[in-house]
Amino acid sequence: MRKTEQWNSRVICQTLKENGAVPFFQPIHDIRTGKLTGAEILARLSLPDGSVVSPAAFLPYLNTLETISELTRTLLIHTEEWLRRIFLPEAFRLSFNIPADGLGLLWLADYCQAIVGGASSHITLVAELMETSPLSLEKLHLEHGLHRMREAGVLLALDDFGTGYSGFHLLQQTGADIIKIPREFIRSLNDCQVSHSIIDSVMLLAKTQKLDIIAEGVENQNQLSALQEKGVVSAQGYYYSQPLSAIDFSYYINHHR
């Protein structure tokens, strides 16, 4: 990447319009068995100079629901094409990120249903609700959006639970199926008792509410072992793999069958 700081919002938005955003995939594994069970779709942007940049360089320019939803749509379009050609492991879950207000997008549920219907393998889509901004949908719009997503068979996850806006309130409002433990708590797991206590509290909540848990940002065996002792089943992070292009992830899938 060359001089990312010189790329302004106009270039970023124009690149998005030209389908410059491409999906990368970070694998999700069952901690107990090592089995590949899913992946999270992550955005990368191909700029005019041929460089590929990570979200940290361009997400600050996507400060409206419209621009973020356009990014999501582009990633799902590319992912839909890839899913028509790849055979995935059984019961595979594929997740994508949207702001909580994205539940009100009229096209989202129908498009998710079309993606699942056109895939070569049976998959379940998971919408990860980002806690970077508060949920502002009116109650009726939220209920309608939730109903449509449920009808489409889409699960809901709370991304980076506890680090953004009203994590517990968002759980109450949406009835999410999955909580994702953020990397901030995982990173300090080996030397911070508070992180242990937070994760224990999240695990208790998940048990009582029958929620699935995914730990993000797992980087080493010590973290993985500590999470397994706490009953965490699923994890993602550099311990398993960095985010991969569609081609590289296809090889990764074949290697982990």
Closest CA to 215 of 231, 194, 204: 231
Rounded to an integer, what distance in angstroms lies between the CA atom of residue 185 and that of residue 66?
A: 31
The predicted-structure confidence for 37-46, as pLDDT tens digits, reads as follows 999 999 998 7
pLDDT computed for residue 19 by the predictor? 59
Residue given tokens 């398993």 in the structure block: 240
What share of the chain has pLDDT > 70, as a percent? 93
Task: Measure Cα distances from 182 to 17, 130, 137, 218, 236 in Å.
Answer: 31, 11, 25, 10, 11
The predicted-structure confidence for 107-153, as pLDDT tens digits, reads as follows 999 999 999 999 999 999 999 998 777 788 999 999 999 999 999 99
If you count them, how many residues does the chain have? 257
Task: Measure Cα distances from 3 to 56, 160, 217 in Å.
Answer: 14, 29, 27
pLDDT computed for residue 7 by the predictor? 56
Pairing of strands 212-215, 234-235: parallel
**pLDDT, average across residues 83-112:** 95
The predicted-structure confidence for 204-249, as pLDDT tens digits, reads as follows 999 999 999 999 999 999 999 999 999 999 999 999 999 999 999 9
- Give the domains, in start order, of the chain with CATH numbers: 4-255 (3.20.20.450)
Contacts of 246 (CB under 8 A, 6+ apart): 22, 23, 24, 25, 78, 82
The predicted-structure confidence for 148-187, as pLDDT tens digits, reads as follows 999 999 999 999 887 765 588 899 999 999 999 999 999 9
How many other CB atoms are there within 10 angstroms of residue 39's CB atom? 27
pLDDT computed for residue 149 by the predictor? 98
Provide the token pair at 33: 């068995």
Contacts of 169 (CB under 8 A, 6+ apart): 135
Phi, psi of 53 (to 5 degrees): -115, 150
pTM for this structure? 0.91
Residue 189 in this model has a pLDDT that exceeds 50: yes
Rounded to an integer, what distance in angstroms lies between the CA atom of residue 74 and that of residue 163?
A: 27
